[in-house]
Amino acid sequence: MPTSASNVVLIAGGVGGARMAEGLARALPAGALTVIANVGDDDDFYGLRVCPDIDTLIYTLSDRIDRKQGWGVADDTVRALDVLRTLAAPTWMKLGDADFGLHIWRSWQLAAGNSLTQITQEAAKRLGARARILPASDDPIRTKLRTADGWMDFQPWFVGRRCEPEVLELRYDGAEKAKASTEALAAIEAAELIVFAPSNPLLSIEPILGIDGFRSAITASRALRIGVSPLIGGKAVKGPLARLLTGLGIETTTTGVAERYNGLLDGFAIDTQDLVETDDLQERGLSVLPTDILMRNPEDAERLAVEILTWAAALQGHCERAAS
């Protein structure tokens, strides 16, 4: 039974990652899913630690998410932000009142000496997230972008400037020195299946792969490794991916994305709109699942998750037969 897999790891950023996580959590038995989350978008506001990708994962997996936006808490209010504005504080980062509660708690727990891994797992459990969520590292990693205006921090570019200044170069500060989460590496080692979410490869997945230990753990893993394309018909479902790829001289195709994960994947799920790329992907040694990869709602995400799990089980059976 494909949905009886007991150890599945999802490598994820925020919105695209959380949609895939929700689908997998619905399709798999309780306790089977571990999500390894990007921390490259994390930043401090008013002395509080905000982890946007972890927060989006927690809110989505606990059914608190504002589904229209894809981030933040549904029906949240902004009274705290209104006070901050009156006090002449910068308020471009849209933090809702309920959202502030989590940031206050996290910052309080960090100050008490707890690790981001402990804090994230406890928050996920207490808020009712239906998967284990592990930050890729407890050490700070900060994505920086070089634009015509010079190097920028991630959130001032992403939220403050609405991704407007074109990106000429990217770096992940701290990634080389950061220690990979031992829990995350253990999850990869124990996994039967590793899924690369349809997250932004440059802003969400590569800050994780840039941490020493992740690439080698994924390569060494006996798990089947499947990616899901964030592009459909050459366009991102949401966000700045297509413009980023163009700015950096990378092809805005599913093949262009798959090449970023060179050597780490066995298969790639693409949209039926991109069927013409099947040969290119197969030439790169990848099995291809063409299907509807748009996750319009949780039911749709579950449908895609079941298709991926069924396909993965068939590929695994095939590999095992070939090896024996």
User: Of 2, 11, 17, 313, which lies in the binding site for ligand GDP, with binding defined by CB under 6 A?
Assistant: 17
Using the minimum distance from each CB to ligand GDP, give the nearer residue, 156 or 190. Answer: 156
| Contact flags string 18-37 toward ligand GDP, x per CB under 6 A | -x------------------
Least distance CB 241 / ligand GDP (angstroms): 4
User: Can you list the positions of beta strands (E) in the chain?
Assistant: 8-12, 33-37, 43-45, 48-50, 132-135, 142-147, 150-153, 169-173, 193-196, 224-228, 231-232, 235-236, 267-271, 287-291
Site for ligand GDP in 185-224 (CB under 6 A): 197-200, 203-204
| Contact flags string 238-257 toward ligand GDP, x per CB under 6 A | xx-x----------------
Say whether residue 293 binds ligand GDP (CB under 6 A). Answer: yes
Query: Which part of the chain contacts ligand GDP (CB under 6 A), choosing from 79-87, 249-257, 293-301, 306-314?
Result: 293-301
Collapsed DSSP state (helix, strand, coil) of residue 294: coil
CB 168 within 8 A of CB 151: no
Using the minimum distance from each CB to ligand GDP, give the nearer residue, 178 or 237. Answer: 237
Nearest to 141 by CA among 214, 89, 190: 214
| Contact flags string 125-144 toward ligand GDP, x per CB under 6 A | --------------------
Phi and psi at residue 220, in whole multiples of 5°? -75, -20
- Cα distance between residue 120 and residue 124, in whole Å: 6
Say whether residue 206 binds Ca ion (CB under 5 A). Answer: no
Give me the torsion for CA of 195, 70, 41, 302, rounded to 10°: -10
Query: Which part of the chain contacts ligand GDP (CB under 6 A), choosing from 12-20, 104-112, 169-177, 180-188?
Result: 12-20
- Cα distance between residue 273 and residue 292, in whole Å: 8
- 11-35 burial: b if 16+ Cβ within 10 Å, else e: bbbbbbbbbbbbbbbbbbeeebbbb
Using the minimum distance from each CB to Ca ion, give the nearer residue, 14 or 198. Answer: 14
Say whether residue 16 binds Ca ion (CB under 5 A). Answer: no
User: Of 28, 33, 51, 228, which lies in the binding site for ligand GDP, with binding defined by CB under 6 A?
Assistant: 228
Collapsed DSSP state (helix, strand, coil) of residue 273: helix
Token pair recorded at residue 156:
């001032």
Say whether residue 53 binds ligand GDP (CB under 6 A). Answer: yes
- Cα distance between residue 300 and residue 295, in whole Å: 5
Phi and psi at residue 132, in whole multiples of 5°? -80, 130
Least distance CB 254 / ligand GDP (angstroms): 10
Amino acid letter for position 263: G
Q: Return the one option of ligand GDP, Ca ion, none that residue 237 interacts with (CB less than 5 to 8 A, by type).
A: ligand GDP
- Cα distance between residue 147 and residue 144, in whole Å: 10
Using the minimum distance from each CB to ligand GDP, give the nearer residue, 12 or 87. Answer: 12
Q: Return the one option of Ca ion, ligand GDP, none that residue 228 interacts with (CB less than 5 to 8 A, by type).
A: ligand GDP
Residues in touch with Ca ion (CB under 5 A): 13-14, 41, 53
Residues in touch with ligand GDP (CB under 6 A): 12-17, 19, 53, 56, 197-200, 203-204, 228-230, 236-239, 241, 293-295
